[in-house]
Amino acid sequence: MTLILHHYPASLFSEKIRVLLGYLRLDWQSVIIPPIMPRPFLMPLSGGYRKTPIMQIGANVYCDTQVICRALARVADNSTLYAAGFPAERVAQWADSDLFRTVVALNFREAAIAAQMSQLSAEAVAAFQKDRAELSAGAPIVGVPPAAAEAHFLEYLQTLETSLEGGFLFGEVPSIADFSVYHCLWFVDGNPVNKSMLADWPNVQDYMERMRAFGHGRFMQLSAEQAHALGKNAEPIAPANARVDARLALNLKAGQNVGVSATDYGRNPIIGSLVKWAAEEIVVLRKDPEVGNIMVHFPNTGFSVAAV
Ligand SMILES: N[C@@H](CCC(=O)N[C@@H](CS)C(=O)NCC(=O)O)C(=O)O
């Protein structure tokens, strides 16, 4: 089985997956995508889902790191990542939403963004801003005023500093919560202006070092065209336990055409026929004119499904 990750170096949610791949010692193929649209070889595979990262296994495409992480734990036959249960999964969700918004607000402050983008031309900066405005249409990604974000972040660091005695957030082995918290810290650490915010916290520093030490696993580069061809030449594998849970789906039925949309930003619906809707994932089957049959997987939380 070939694991393909579509990502770009500066993407923090991609870093969550890269470090998890390192921790799980999985081999993978790396497709570097541009940080802004268009992504012409990827969109036929994802059905228009445009957030980063996206994981592909043949003709099965995983959108959103929640469902990517679960798939990777399964592939690696790992039984510890989710062993802490509800508390760890909810901390992960907090980090991927609240903490994410806080660190984005910090890194998008004028001085911080100028430091980050100093190598880019004025046109490239304008193109980036235009792309992200399109992504967030109607639902701002940075909703936290910078001064508030700084105060919130300090409080988080203070409590994090005293919560790492076991080595990781839920004990001696990493849980899903660690990967979600880590990618946000990594984002701040990578910004030349904001990096110093992490300096006063020795336990946080050691923790980041432990996470960083997992590396990114063994990977080879693959072109977007090659990944597109692999998707085209494969048939999707039906998910385990494919069923439509009537408690979630209400009146929607398997086989019905639906649109699956993120409920935060990047809300464009991905259209396909409903294969599975259970607590662990939503799956739709798409028949794409370029790449044929593709199954696209989404998490249940953070997405909505509607008949089209
Ligand atoms: N909930 C998503 C969030 C992904 C996300 O927001 N990724 C950022 C990059 S770190 C993004 O998509 N930015 C816009 C883009 O890459 O086009 C997940 O867990 O995968």
pLDDT of residue 270 exceeding 70: yes
Counted domains in the chain: 2
Task: Let me know whether 139 and 179 are in one domain.
Answer: yes
Q: Is 236:49 a contact under the CB 8 Å cutoff?
A: no
Instruction: For residue 267, give the CATH number of its domain.
Output: 3.40.30.110
Residue nearest to atom 15 of ligand 1 (CA): 51
- The closest alpha carbon to 29, from 45, 18, 44, belongs to 18
CA–CA dist 59, 37 (Å, integer) = 22
* Residue finishing a domain among 162, 188, 212: 212
Atom of ligand 1 nearest to the CA of 37: 17
- Cα 53 to ligand 1 centroid, rounded to whole Å: 6
Q: Is 200 left (phi over 0), alpha (psi -120 to 50) or beta?
A: alpha
The CATH number linked to 183 is 1.20.1050.10
| Boundary of a domain, candidates 184, 212, 240 | 212
Q: Is the pLDDT of residue 138 over 90?
A: no
Same domain flag for 117 and 236 = no
Based on the fold, state whether residues 208 and 235 are members of the same structural domain.
no
Q: Based on the fold, state whether residues 117 and 200 are members of the same structural domain.
A: yes
* pTM recorded for the entire structure: 0.98
Res. 78: pLDDT tops 80: yes
CA 12 – ligand 1 centroid, Å = 8
- All residues at 6 or more sequence positions from 295 whose CB lies less than 8 Å from its CB, including other chains: 59, 60, 61, 236, 237, 238, 239, 275, 283, 284, 285, 286
Residue where one domain finishes, among candidates 189, 212, 235: 212
β 292-298/60-63 pair status: parallel
Ligand 1-lining residues (CB < 6 angstroms): 11-13, 35, 50-52, 64-66, 96, 135, 302
State the residue for tokens 């916290």.
201
Please report the atom of ligand 1 found closest to the CA of residue 14: 10
| Domain of 138, in residue numbers | 85-212
Q: Are residues 128 and 33 in the same domain?
A: no
Handedness of CA 38, 44, 47, 49 (dihedral sign): negative
In a shared domain, residues 180 and 256:
no
pLDDT > 70: what percent of the chain?
99
Atom of ligand 1 lying closest to residue 265 CA: 6
Same domain, 185 and 299: no
